[in-house]
Amino acid sequence: MTSPVFSAPAVRKGRAFPKEGGLTDSRDVAQQGFFETGFGKAIARNWAFFFLILMTIVFSLTSRGFFDIVNFQNIIHLSTGAFLLAAAETLVVITGGIDLSVGYVYGLSSVLGAKVMQILSGAGMPVANVVLLGCAASLLVSLIPGFINGIVITRFKVPSFIATMGMWGICNGLTLFLADGFMPVMGAPEIINKIGNGFLLYIDPGKSVSFFQKPSYIPDTGIRQLVRLFPNSLFLTLIALLAVGFLLRRTAFGRHTYAIGGSMDAAVRSGIRVQKHLVIIYTLSSFLSGLAGLFNLFQTGIGNYTPSGANYELMAVAAVVIGGASLTGGKGRILGTAVGVLVLAVLENGLQIMGVSAFYRYIGVGILLVIAVIIDRAFPDLF
C-alpha cells in the first residue's frame, strides 16, 4: 500500500534540525543538552499535553468564564464527535492507511437515524422502539462503508487514500439524497435530545441530588440553577476511547495493528492475516464514525448532513497527528489522540470566549498543526 504522504529521506544536506552526531554549533549543543535531561525528554514527548495545560492557563487568566466547570463540560460535550472520529482515524493511521470517509459516514449515520426515527414515529410506533430501531439502523448501516473500504483496499489493492475518498463522495451523495438536498432531517422523538444533552448528576445545592433526570419540581427554564455534572456525552466518549485504547494496548488484535503499520511485509511473514485485519480496522473506523453521527443526532435532535468543506476527516487526522501518531504508520496512542482533540477543542473554545472571530480559529489550527509536525520531526526517536 502506498502512503500519500511525502516524507523526505534522511540524506539531505542542510536539514532543518540536527540529528545525533550532527552537532555544529554551541546553540545546538545546548538544545540537545536540555532535551536529553529527563525533564526535557518528558516535555518533548508530551509536548501536546504541556501545550494543552499552558493554553488552559493562558485562557483562564485572559478570559473570564473559561475556567469554569460548566465550560469544561461544554468543551467535552461539543467535541464528542471529534473524539470518536479521531479515535476511528487513530486505528486506521496506525496501520499506515488513512480514512477520509469518516466525516461523511458521520453525516450519513446522523441523517439516516433521524430519517428512520421520523418515518417510524410517523407510523405511530412507541417511542422506545422508534429510538432503538433508529439507532440500530444507523449503526448497522455505518458498518457498510467501512467494510467496502476494507474490501476495496485489500482485495483490489486500491490505495486507502483513494478508496476512502471515493467512499467520501458516495456517502456524501447518499446523505444528501436522504436529506432531500440540503435540509436537516427533523421529526425524531424529543426524548433523544434529553438523552444526548443529559447529565449523570443533577445537584440542587442544599436540597437534592438526582441521577440522570432533573428534579421534577424544577421547570425546564430553571435548569440553569442546578449544578450538573458528568454529561452523558462524557460517558460515551470515555467508553469509546477506553474500548479502543484497550483494543490497541491489551489485545493481540492491537499488537497486530501496530505490526501492520510498522512493516506490512513483516506482518504478512509473521502470519498475521493482514487482509482480514485491515477489513476489520476499516469497518471499526466506519462504525465509530457512525456512532459519532448517531450521538450528534442525540445532541441536536435533528439529522445533520456534513456540509461540504467541513473537513471533519482532516480535523480528525490533525488531532491524531498532534497526538503523536505518524502518518507512515506503526505509531500512535489513543491517549495522545484524546489530547490532540482537546488541544483543538480548547483552542477553539478559548478563542471563542476571548471574543476572537471564529475565522482566526482556522488559522490557529493550521499553524498549530504545522508546529506539531515540526516538533515531531525534531525529536524523531523520542516518541
Partner 1 sequence: MNRDTGLSNADFKGGIRYSLGRNWVLIFIFLELLIFSLANKAFFSIETIQLILFNGTEVFLLAIAELFVIITGGIDHSVGFVMGFATVVASKSIVALSGAGLPPFASILLGSLLTVLIGLLPGFVNGWLVAYLRVPAFIATFAMLGVTHGVSELLTQGIPAKNLPSLAGDIGNGSFLYIPPSGVWSFFVRPQVERGQHVWAIIPNMVVFSFFFIALFAFILKRTRFGRHLYAIGGNMDAAIRSGINVKHDLVKTYVVSSLFASLAGITYVMKYITGKPDAGANMVLEAIAAVVIGGASMAGGSGSVGRTVLGALIIAVLETGLRIMGLQTFTTYILVGVILILAVVIEQAFPNFKR
Q: Which residues bind partner 1 (CB under 8 A)?
A: 2-9, 11-12, 15-16, 98, 152, 156-159, 161-163, 165-177, 181, 308-309, 311, 314, 317-318, 321, 327, 357-367, 369-370, 372-374, 377
DSSP state of 101: T
How many CB atoms lie under 10 A from the CB of residue 101?
A: 31
Task: Return the number of the residue (10 or 252) whose C-beta is nearest partner 1.
Answer: 10
Task: Return the number of the residue (116 or 344) whose C-beta is nearest partner 1.
Answer: 344
Task: Return the number of the residue (212 or 360) whose C-beta is nearest partner 1.
Answer: 360
Task: Return the number of the residue (28 or 68) whose C-beta is nearest partner 1.
Answer: 28
Q: At 155, give phi and psi (nearest 5°).
A: -80, -40
Strands 208-211, 199-204: parallel, antiparallel or unpaired by DSSP?
Answer: antiparallel
For 113-135, give one letter per residue: b (16+ CB within 10 A) or e: bbbbbbebbeeebeeeebbebbb
- The distance of closest approach from Cβ of residue 52 to partner 1 in the complex, given in angstroms and rounded to an integer, is 19
The set of long-range contacts for 248-257, using a CB threshold of 8 Å and a minimum separation of 24, is 248/90, 248/91, 248/94, 248/333, 248/334, 249/334, 253/277, 253/280, 257/91, 257/94, 257/95, 257/281
- The distance of closest approach from Cβ of residue 236 to partner 1 in the complex, given in angstroms and rounded to an integer, is 27
Which ranges of 204-251 does DSSP label H, i.e. alpha helix?
A: 232-250
- The distance of closest approach from Cβ of residue 179 to partner 1 in the complex, given in angstroms and rounded to an integer, is 9
Q: Which residues contact residue 343 at a Cβ distance below 8 angstroms, ignoring those fewer than 6 apart?
A: 48, 51, 52, 55, 319, 322, 368
185: helix, strand or coil: strand
- The distance of closest approach from Cβ of residue 274 to partner 1 in the complex, given in angstroms and rounded to an integer, is 17
Task: Return the number of the residue (103 or 198) whose C-beta is nearest partner 1.
Answer: 103
Task: Return the number of the residue (177 or 246) whose C-beta is nearest partner 1.
Answer: 177
Task: Return the number of the residue (135 or 167) whose C-beta is nearest partner 1.
Answer: 167
- The distance of closest approach from Cβ of residue 5 to partner 1 in the complex, given in angstroms and rounded to an integer, is 4
Cβ-contact 111, 179 below 8 angstroms? yes
Cβ-contact 231, 201 below 8 angstroms? no
- The distance of closest approach from Cβ of residue 150 to partner 1 in the complex, given in angstroms and rounded to an integer, is 13
Cell numbers linked to 293: 453521527
- The distance of closest approach from Cβ of residue 32 to partner 1 in the complex, given in angstroms and rounded to an integer, is 19
